[in-house]
Structure 1
């Protein structure tokens, strides 16, 4: 795997890492994964080390043209607001595989009708491999190239739907690296897998800040709508009032399973994850 080349970026304004050959395109191919890095103003010259937010589905974060359904998360606006309010951070987005997202973002065997068929191989995904890419290849290079804080309490794994499952999976498997996680996981896709991971992580003393959200209109199918909410409540019951765990749970009865809902949720969720009590 080739290294990502160091890139010097103008420091007067927030910026994204750009390819030297296409300086207006905020994307780099890295180990077959499309990676975008957002940097706060002045980060190279400030002498500071910054918290880092790692996002799944990076193509949905800040460009409506690449986002699913033509609605992006508005992450660049949210990060600019955070920086203006005195909480500058670095954000890293990794786009999913163009045709195998379900497989890539499934860390446990799925038996959920419709989704398991997308995963293939009897519902067994490659989420563990994807997490290893983050921990063993992506994060070390981000820490090498940019002024990051590598502390777990300054490092978040983020995502929605299956990407939210992977964010929680990152926290349960590597709480030494990812002490923050959110936002809107489709927990039913992996059966009891995520809940079992959480129990194991808590028993081993995992700590952190977790933001869990769910909408009441995540599916047109009644059984699926119930599954989204019931699994989220199960997770909250496991995490609530656990020593060392700060939890924020958000339920919106009208929220759909859509980028527009996560865009609305994002600013508050980031403020919670980055808060220092």
Structure 2
């Protein structure tokens, strides 16, 4: 089942809708659940809510999955360029996208200091790092990678689908140099073969991160989606793959 509520993102002073997935028997049990926080929450569950009329089908998938979760889908800012600003942790300028005034760190500071405590208070969660993950695609995938590096003491798992890492590799490298990754960390990367022009370059980038996480005895998994595109249909096909990896034994 999906519940929705609006919440004020205090550093931005903006109202935003949260899309919360709960197991169908949530209110008939006293069970606690792991939590995945995911960007672009409106695109996760229902086609009617999705920006382009196609969701990840995550609700249908989880209804039939062998493990139960709570998903906190954080809707993005739909105004102008604000999604890019909120889903990027750095100030950058790109030829194709233009100038981005990165507000991603402010957003994640709010998530860990206000949103996560609220979710843990309202719902029956396992609040510890071991059971808490982050995920997203495109700019949301970039933010998931940034989050697992910068906020590793809160999140132990990250699903980074088609992450827009090419926008800020230098900045991410600097972030890595000042971070320590817990060995109990799992990171999933994916790209579709039809969404990038230079797959070899992407694999070099991902290989760099893979080596870094391996250095800390963290686990990473790279999935290349054959004929995969930069869209929800491709990401939907990966639901079982990344959940199996992130939460498998």
TM-score clears 0.5 = yes
- Residue 12 of structure 2 is matched in structure 1 by none
Tell me, in whole angstroms, the C-alpha distance in 1 between the residues paired with 2:177 and 2:193: 26
Q: Which residue of 2 aligns with 1:108?
A: 90
1:2-21 mapped onto 2 (5 Å cutoff): 15-17=1-3
Hey, what's the Cα distance between the residues in 2 that align with 1:47 and 1:243? 36
Contact 2:41–2:75 (CA<8 Å) still a contact in 1?
A: yes
Instruction: Tell me the alpha carbon deviations over residues 83-132 of structure 1, each in whole angstroms, 9 at most, x when there is no partner.
Output: xx2x1111110110002100000102323322233x2xxxx310011101
User: How big is the alpha-carbon RMSD for the aligned residues of Structure 1 and Structure 2?
Assistant: 2.0
1:251, 1:110 → 2: CA distance?
Answer: 27
Query: Which structure is larger by alpha-carbon Rg, 1 or 2?
Result: 1
What is the correspondence of 1:6-85 to structure 2 with a 5 Å cutoff?
15-17=1-3, 27-31=4-8, 32-82=15-65, 85=66
- Tell me the TM-score normalised to structure 2 length: 0.88
Unpaired stretches in structure 1, ≥5 consecutive residues: 1-14, 18-26
The aligned residue for residue 22 of structure 1 is none
Comparing 92-101 with 169-178, greater Cα deviation is found at: 169-178
Decide whether aligned partners of structure 1 residues 199 and 89 sit closer, same or farther in structure 2, where only a CA change above 3 A counts.
same
Alpha-carbon distance, 1:206 to partner: 6.0
Q: Which residue is equivalent to 1:96?
A: 76
Q: Which residue of 1 aligns with 2:167?
A: 189
When residues 228 and 187 of structure 1 are mapped into structure 2, their CA distance, relative to the original with a 3 A threshold, is same
Write the distance in 2 (CA, Å) between the matches of 1:259 and 1:68. 10
Equivalent residue, structure 2, for 1:250: 223
SS of alignment partner, residue 192 of structure 1 = helix
Normalised to the residue count of structure 1, the TM-score between the two structures is 0.80
Matches within 5 A, 1:88-237: 88-99=68-79, 100-117=82-99, 119=100, 124-184=101-161, 185-202=163-180, 205=182, 207-219=184-196, 222=197, 228-237=202-211
Give the number of aligned pairs: 240
CA gap of 1:207–1:177, structure 2 versus 1, over 3 A, is same
**Structure 2: gaps spanning 5 or more residues:** 9-14
